[in-house]
Amino acid sequence: MTFKNQVIYQIYPKSYLDTTGNGVGDLRGIISKLDYLADLGIDMVWLNPIYPSPQRDNGYDISDYVSIDPVFGTMSDFEELIQEGKKRGIDFMLDMVLNHVSTKHEWFQKALAGDPYYQDFFFIQDEPTDWVSKFGGSAWAPFGDTGKYYLHLFDVTQADLNWRNENVRKELFDVVNFWREKGLHGFRFDVINLIGKDALLKSNPVNEGKPEYTDKPLTHDYLQMLNAASFGKDAESVTVGEMSSTTIDNCILYSRPDRQELSMTFNFHHLKVDYANAQKWTKSPFDFAQLKHLFHTWGEKMSEGQGWNALFWNNHDQPRAINRFIDYKNFRVKGATMLAASIHLSRGTPYIYMGEEIAMIDPDFKSMSDYVDVESVNAYQALLDAGHTPEQAFEIIQIKSRDNSRTPMQWDNTANAGFSTGTPWLATGNHAEINVENEQSGEVYQFYKQLIQLRKSDQLISDGTYQAAYQDAEHIYAFIREFEGRQLLVLTNFSNQVIDFELLADFVDSEILINNYATHQPNQLQPYQAIAFTI
């Protein structure tokens, strides 16, 4: 198997299953659900960070790269997880946060204490630039009482690492190899396209300073070094780079096989089509024409350039896609299966975020006290400062908060959704009806299983090219896959209405490969129908 016919399942460990009653999910909880993941057909599980961390940014502020945070368990639990996964044909992917470390990490602490060797691990300047932190405010903070400033593109407790320093690179390559020696084959590199910073960091008023540190040519050099020194030695390795504000041309370079950088890339452009004026903290209907254009442009250009996309609708940083793109109150099931087909039949490696396979929806939180995400708390205050009423600000948080996807996995309809016997770290969602116990034999879960098996069994889906189709259709997203003379036409209806269309002449005598409805009306798509024809 290769990453082209694999399907990867993302687990947010804090929210999957708690076996200790402390309200936080743990590694033993994941071990206990491996049979569930094997039944679904999962090949690899991506775990969000499980390292020691002050948890200022839900574990993306790492204080020790080569240990397990006791809240999740022990190293022996992790080793057992790897072994039990292998018995079921499941590998694991760890989150590598190599752009920055927690200010509690010993490297930063030694730098603060005056050690010049470790001070060169970070970006420390006399004068800050005008760059804006991804979490708001300046991207610079005072470096102790030295009168200097250190760079933090994210939270003030997340200090950016200086990849220009060979010693930093060696340390980070050693981190990847430490986990490889534990039997790990998968690595997801967090905001990895931000590591190629210049020697002298300069102000830039354009787009909050992003052009100064995003997708710099040096990033490709560093990724090739990382590849050669670590995972590139493993033919079975699967790597994905999370790319912030990236471009197609760069993602082709990051993922083209002959470049020896990464297997594939995540980009987030399609999840910003409901941002009014490109601003996240707004309330706006999604722009379907823009969504379709992005999917077609990335699909075709990555296909032509031999790059590879990581395909996804959901993750730990996004509200549930079903709330964003579907009339979910009326068409939750059909909408969920249509969204699944739109990426699982496309060119790229699909990722399933926990709960997506049972069509989980955003929680119905009632007040800001239900939210714990630092970004959401900051955004709420910023919205108030900008003149929104508390009601208006809260409504925006409700639809855009990262906590929407971080609520505990809904296993059954008992208290706390079967997630914990204690008080969950984050309140549970709408689990009375939407839970694994109810849904595992239901339409959405079974449709996901069908899609996963098709990718494993049919090279047309795993290896075929991508070509846009029906580009002018108002509500239809459609594309053609081609492999060794065979073709697949995938049609999806992104509306809650019946849509008329004319089947392409080449496909008039085709067979239906998969359909999320029991029947098919010629030249007509039902609300949120997904259907694929093959010749």
**Two tokens, residue 40:** 């679904």
Q: CB neighbours of 283 closer than 8 A, spacing ≥ 6?
A: 276, 395, 396, 399
- The active-site residue, picked from 190, 212, 357, 439, is 190
**Two tokens, residue 141:** 């903070």
Backbone angles phi, psi at 466, to 5 degrees: -125, 130
Q: Enter the DSSP assignment of 353.
A: E
**Given 3-state DSSP classes, what are the helix, strand and coil percentages for the chain, each rounded to the nearest 5?**
35, 15, 45
Backbone angles phi, psi at 477, to 5 degrees: -110, 120
Report in angstroms the alpha-carbon separations of 159 from 151, 237, 306.
Answer: 6, 29, 35
Q: Enter the DSSP assignment of 418.
A: G
Helix (H, G, I), strand (E, B) or coil at 515: strand
Q: CB neighbours of 490 closer than 8 A, spacing ≥ 6?
A: 341, 342, 345, 346, 478, 479, 480, 481, 530, 531, 532
Q: Which helix (H) or strand (E) holds 328?
A: helix 328-344
Interhelix angle for 374-385 vs 390-400, to 10°? 150
Q: Provide the residue type at 239 as one letter.
A: T
Active site residue 458: no
d(CA 366, CA 394): 9
98 Ramachandran zone, left/alpha/beta (phi>0; psi -120 to 50): alpha
**Tokens 């509500």, located at residue:** 475
| HEC readout, 470-493 | CCCCCCEEEEEEEECCEEEEEEEE
| HEC readout, 20-89 | CCCCCCCHHHHHHCHHHHHHHCCCEEEECCCCCCCCCCCCCCCCCCCCCCCCCCCHHHHHHHHHHHHHCC
Q: Computed from CA positions of residues 337, 343, 349, 354, in that sequence, does the dihedral angle turn out positive or negative?
A: negative
Active site residue 190: yes
- The active-site residue, picked from 43, 91, 95, 242, is 242
**Two tokens, residue 90:** 């499941």
**Two tokens, residue 418:** 């079967």
CA-nearest of 266, 248, 252, 269 to 310 is: 266
Task: Determine contact, residues 245/214, Cβ cutoff 8 Å.
Answer: yes
Active-site residue set: 190, 242
